[in-house]
Chain A
Amino acid sequence: MKTKKANTQCKNIKTWLYDAVTSRFGLNADWVQNHIVNCPRCQRRLASAGKVHLALAIVKSQTHSLNLLMRANTKTIDVLKHSLRYCPKARKLKKMLPEPKLFERCGKYKHSLANTAACIAILLLMKTGVFSSMDKFQSEGQKVVKQYYASHLGQELTDEIFSA
């Protein structure tokens, strides 16, 4: 239990440290930006790192034909042994097309989901707020009425009425 707590604490400190270091020494920190403006060496370094990131982005953005997976699977299955080549799974793999992951498929619904969740949260908050204020209102009202009766009818009679 203690070790678990210590681990969580350690993780939290690591995150805080990382955030602090990034905000102080990250590329967006003011002093870094000021330095880059006046330092041709750093400008060159930054430009060359940018070029690598650009190349990586270009490589990632290139698309292959939709049936590439199907072709690769077919080619591979054809050289596997007989028992694997003709099993139902192999037949399914030969027709397999790349499908977006569940997270990506749900991506288009994320705004509507977020809106629905926000509405539910507001409704819940309103409901709890209304009910708690109703209870408060009732108890306060009861107190006022009791006080009124006590002043006009006397304490004993009021206690009798309200205890009934």
Chain B
Amino acid sequence: MIGKADSCGLIWDFAVPGSLSSSQRWVLSAMQSWGPELVTMLWRILGNEQDVCDAYQNTFLKLAHFEGGRKPEHIKAYVFRSAANVAISMLRRRITERKNLSELSAAGNNIKSPISELDSRYLQESLRCNIARLPEHLRSVVTLHDLAELSYVQVGKMLGITAATARVYRCKAIQLLAVWMNRKE
């Protein structure tokens, strides 16, 4: 991974014109301002420290490469939304990998015991899987409001919707999650 990161760094150094080099301090400022909240959100979505570091790195690389190194108009919205998207993609990949592995190993042992239903790890994994399945507009609200702990007003501003709409989307998302998390497989 370090090798890969280094190679990315070399490409980055090579690709960016010198005129932009002085104007990219805002990437570090963004990291300083929203880094802690971003790490918390990513940790809650992924639940794995290595994945959090990867998603964090991807997010800021995306930010640094945005339209050839230009500063986005709403950096906070850009950073949070792209971090959530990166994390969800990683989560989906992980779920698919796990599914393939379990199919190979035991041909699916899907009997759910009441003990496992109350197991915190099971609950967390089930929640993460189902959040990844949500439609994009509902998923964005859940990740930003519940996992990044942003207010409805902030979420609305980031997604370009009103706070009331964000509230409605969150309610719908919880209803869907409740149905999916209780469905007998």
Q: Is the CB of A93 within 8 A of B9?
A: no
Q: Is the CB of A65 within 8 A of B178?
A: no
Q: Contacts A62-B44, A79-B12, A87-B25: A71 and B53 contacting too (C-beta < 8 A)?
A: yes
Q: Which residues of A contact B53 (CB under 8 A)?
A: 68, 71-72, 75
The interface residues of chain A, by DSSP majority, are classed as helix
Q: Which of A45, A55, A87 contacts B127 (CB 8 A)?
A: A55
Q: Which residues of A contact B178 (CB under 8 A)?
A: 45, 48-49, 51-52
Q: Contacts A60-B44, A64-B49, A68-B52: A73 and B146 contacting too (C-beta < 8 A)?
A: no
Residue of B28, B126, B174 with most partner-chain A CB within 10 A:
B28
The interface residues of chain B, by DSSP majority, are classed as helix
CA distance A137 to B24 in the complex (A): 72
Whole-angstrom distance between the Cβ of A109 and the nearest chain B Cβ: 22
Q: Mark A84-104, 1 if CB is under 8 A from B, else 0.
A: 110101101100101100000
Interface residues on A, range: 35 or more
Q: Is the CB of A62 within 8 A of B124?
A: yes
Q: Contacts A52-B174, A60-B44, A64-B43: A93 and B127 contacting too (C-beta < 8 A)?
A: no
CA distance A48 to B126 in the complex (A): 13
Residue of A51, A87, A93, A99 with most partner-chain B CB within 10 A:
A51
Q: For residues 28 through 68 of chain A, which have their beta carbon under 8 Å from a beta carbon of chain B? A: 44-45, 47-49, 51-56, 58-60, 62, 64-65, 68
**Which residue numbers of B lie inside 8 Å of A, CB to CB?**
5-6, 8-9, 12-13, 16, 21-22, 24-25, 27-29, 31-32, 35-36, 39-40, 43-44, 47, 49, 52-53, 56-57, 60-61, 64, 120, 123-124, 126-128, 146-147, 174-175, 177-179, 181-182
